[in-house]
Structure 1
Amino acid sequence: MFTRSFTGKGGLFIFLAGVCLLFSSQKKPAAQRGAPLKVIFETDMGNDVDDALALDMLYKYMKEGKINLLAVSSNKNNIYSSLFISLMNNWYGYPHIPVGRVKDGADSEENPNNYARAAYRYTAKGGQKVFKAPDTTAAYKESVALYREVLSRQPDSSVVIISVGFSTNLARLLDSGPDSFSPLGGRDLVAAKVNLLSVMAGDFEEKRMAEYNVKIDVAAAKKVFGSWPGRIVTSPFELGNTILYPARSIRQDFTWTEHHPVVVAYESYLKMPYDRPTWDLTSVLYAVEGLKDYFSISRPGKIYADKEGFTFFDPAPQGNHFYLAADEEQRKKILQRFITLVTRNPKGR
């Protein structure tokens, strides 16, 4: 064990890396204990392309038997977000994974580089759609209803939620009432079933900004940070922003297939070649594999957001919020792990 000191709001922070005393009373990821980790993925798929790579990681963990992906929920209020998730589920060999869709979400932008739309509509030279993607619009459940159904069926303290978009669905889940799936209200249901919320959100640098995932739905983020009845570990903007997934991998490591949905997504999002930050991938890596040699973690505390979407961390011995960091050597290891994982062939291919 070793320590590293950082200065920020609230004074001195001590970061512990490796197998540390801070987590001696907290459960290791189930994937490290032998049982597949039960995961729900909450995403704003269709905004930044890192969501597509993060979902790819989860499929690869599924193939390895490390996780059971219970559901994928979209918090982007755009139908192509859910359609692209269904396309990915089908292409990677997991068409049974249910997809949830936000209702009246905070973000419905239809920008020209919406890669989810581009990949869903992608056609070969003859004009035929490349990816088998039936229109399953009617099959999508509203996300909060899907959460309640899925969580009610799981053992207590068994589920990890990985949230890499807006907090809209999670805030509504906390406010939800009893239903046919569970007599518990949302907050009590989360307290009973969820072991960890691994979230990509916030910016804790001294010269911080209102991070995108927070500011798009500030009220929801404030609700989640203020009311979530369990452990939250956040991977802030400044972590993933310093770990760039290389364009050379996108161009060279997926040529085993003529058409790959992640490659199409990358090519549709920005003009290739470009390296791209791995914000969302860091939250997936931590949730499934833990600290290992990849991350350092803050002492316990409390995260809160102000009305503009700026996030702050106050250390507190009894706090249940933490945030991740990585030094240069750790960032190299993280990037290599990303490349190793996502360049593996999917199930059945």
Structure 2
Amino acid sequence: MKTSSFSTPLRLLVALAMAVLAVAAAPAPASAGRTPTRLIIDTDFGQWWDDVAAVAAAHTAADQGRTRILGMMTDVRNDWNAPALDALNTWYGRPGIPIGVTAGAAPVDQNYSRLLAENYPHAGRTEDSVALYRRLLRSQPDHSVTILSIGSLTGLSRLLKTDRALVARKVARAVVMGGEYPAATAPEWNFGLDLDATRHVVAGWPTPIVFDGFETGLPVLVGNNVCATHPAGSPVRAAFDVLYGCGTTQHDGTWDPTALYYAIYGPDGVFRLSGSGGHNVVTPDGLNTWTVGGHRQQYLVLTDPAALTSKLDALIDAV
């Protein structure tokens, strides 16, 4: 770990100030009458820090009673990703969250998964993602589950091909981080991981679907407090340290946590929904554009980047 030049008293004061700000910015806990979002997270975990940040935010939301995490799927092929995701869940006190592994997923190198898998406790139990999706969905009420896709759409495509009727009956909506809106200027990473699967899901998903595009994350820079707020033994801090080095600044943007935030908290004064009366079209070269016609699809428009940044940091920094 890199060391800070701050003196110990000053470091403590900074940490205390950050904690106070996090409490002030944090979304309110669920009221007694609010039903927690039943959530399945489908992630290309192991690539970049924002998957770690999204999972961290999900656990804090679960602590607040705002969501119930039913399961998580890894949707790219790397043997370290599933145990690393399990290790992160275990550190947050939820070792029982089942982990699905997607057959036929694109092979992608890991950046921090091996570190987490080798240095943090985990059970190591996994199952095929389609089998896990079907088991989880069958156990839930009709039209009650939110699926958050923050990676490849390979697993969702396989699920549709296997049991489309189950998806239509059990899923309330999908929130997909992918593409660019209203039209892409270049192929977006998540959509390009498995283009055939992307085109299949985007064209044929049978429930309401909300897209969170590349443009949304550019002005949202979260996670810069992690090395001050998380203890030295935190796997979240370890992942940030690998990618950025503790004490430096994350300046790339924030994608996956923005989609996670909407999936749990809705617009909440930081988003509005657009594209009503249209639908997403993904071309064979990986570009996407919003097209007139349709009623089940919409996309997010960010209205308050500063407020969303504060809200996400409050979730990610909570330990």
* Band the TM-score falls in, shorter-chain normalisation: 0.7 to 0.9
**8 Å contact kept, 1:35–1:66:** yes
**How far apart in 2 are the matches of 1:298 and 1:344?**
31
What are the within-5 Å matches in structure 2 for residues 290-329 of structure 1?
A: 290-300=266-276, 301-316=278-293, 318-327=294-303
Question: What is the aligned partner in structure 2 of residue 156 from structure 1?
Answer: 142
Local SS of the residue matching 2:313: helix
- CA distance in structure 1 between the partners assigned to 2:194 and 2:184 by the alignment: 22
Deviation per residue, 1:197-228 (Å, 9 max, x gap): 01100012656110000011010000001110
What does residue range 281-296 of structure 1 map to in structure 2 within 5 Å? 281-296=257-272
Residue 267 (structure 2) pairs with residue 268 (structure 1): no
Q: Using the alignment, how far apart are the partners of 2:206 and 2:81 within structure 1?
A: 29
**Unmatched tracts of structure 2, length 5 or more:** 1-29
Map 1:135-284 → 2, pairs under 5 A: 136=124, 139-176=125-162, 186-204=163-181, 208-247=185-224, 249-254=225-230, 257-272=231-246, 273-275=248-250, 276-284=252-260
Given that residues 183 and 289 in structure 2 are in contact (C-alpha distance below 8 angstroms), is that contact kept between their aligned partners in structure 1?
no
Count of matched residue pairs: 286
Alignment of 1:115-130 (within 5 A): 115-121=112-118, 129=119
Decide whether aligned partners of structure 1 residues 35 and 207 sit closer, same or farther in structure 2, where only a CA change above 3 A counts: closer
Contact 1:232 1:320 survives alignment (8 Å) = yes
In 1: Cα distance, 2:205 partner to 2:314 partner: 34
1:294-323, Cα deviation, whole Å (9 max, x unpaired): 10211311111111111111133x421111
State the 1:342 CA deviation. 1.6
Correspondence 1:132 to 2:154? no
1:95 aligns to what SS in structure 2?
coil
The CA distance in 2 between the partners of 1:87 and 1:66, in whole Å, is: 22
CA distance in 1, matches of 2:55, 2:228: 20
Q: In the alignment, is the contact (CA less than 8 A) between 2:148 and 2:260 conserved in 1?
A: yes
CA distance in 2, matches of 1:253, 1:188: 45
| Aligned amino acid, residue 83 of structure 2 | L
Gap runs ≥5 in structure 1: 1-30, 122-128, 177-185
Deviates more, 1:39-48 or 1:198-207: 198-207
SS of equivalent residue, structure 2 residue 206: coil
Shift of 1:279: 0.2
Q: Which moved more, 1:214-223 or 1:265-274?
A: 265-274
In the alignment, is residue 61 of structure 1 matched against residue 61 of structure 2? yes
Q: Cα distance, 1:119 vs. partner? A: 2.4
Q: Residues of 2 paired with 1:158 and 1:75: CA distance?
A: 23
| Secondary structure in structure 1 of the residue aligned to 2:143 | coil
The Cα offsets for residues 141-186 of structure 1, whole Å up to 9 and x where unpaired, read as 010010011101111000000000000000000000xxxxxxxxx1
Distance (whole Å) between structure 1 residues aligned to residue 291 and residue 184 of structure 2: 16
State the distance in 1 between where 2:112 and 2:208 align: 33
Aligned AA for 1:119? L
Structure in which a larger fraction of residues adopt helix: 2
Which amino acid is 1:170 matched to? L
- After TM superposition, give the deviation of residue 71 of structure 1 in Å: 0.3
8 Å Cα contact 1:157-1:193 kept in structure 2: yes
Q: 1:212 is aligned with what amino acid?
A: W
Identity %: 29
CA distance in 2, matches of 1:236, 1:304: 13
- C-alpha contact (below 8 Å) 2:39/2:71 kept by paired residues: yes
Q: Quick check: 1:118–1:268 contact (8 Å CA) kept in 2? A: no
Residue 252 (structure 1) shift: 1.6
Query: 1:251 Cα shift?
Result: 2.4
Q: State the secondary structure of the residue aligned to 1:133.
A: coil
Separation in 1 of the partners of 2:237 and 2:196?
A: 35
Counterpart secondary structure, 1:196: strand
Q: Please give the alpha-carbon distance, in whole angstroms, between the structure 2 residues aligned to 1:231 and 1:53.
A: 25
**Is the CA contact (8 Å cut-off) linking 2:47 and 2:109 kept in structure 1?**
no
Structure 2: how far apart are the matches of 1:342 and 1:324? 21
Using the TM superposition, give the Cα deviation of residue 246 of structure 1 relative to its aligned residue in structure 2, in angstroms: 4.6
| Superimposed CA distance per residue, residues 71-129 of structure 1 (whole angstroms, 9 cap, x where no aligned partner) | 000001111110111101111000111000111212x2225xx11112223xxxxxxx4
Structure 2 counterpart SS, 1:244:
coil
Given the two structures, how large is their TM-score scaled by the length of structure 2? 0.86
* Runs of 4+ off more than 4 Å: none
Q: How many angstroms apart in 1 are the aligned matches of 2:266 and 2:180?
A: 21
C-alpha contact (below 8 Å) 1:37/1:67 kept by paired residues: yes
Map of 2:317 onto structure 1:
343
Q: Give the match for residue 93 of structure 1.
A: 93
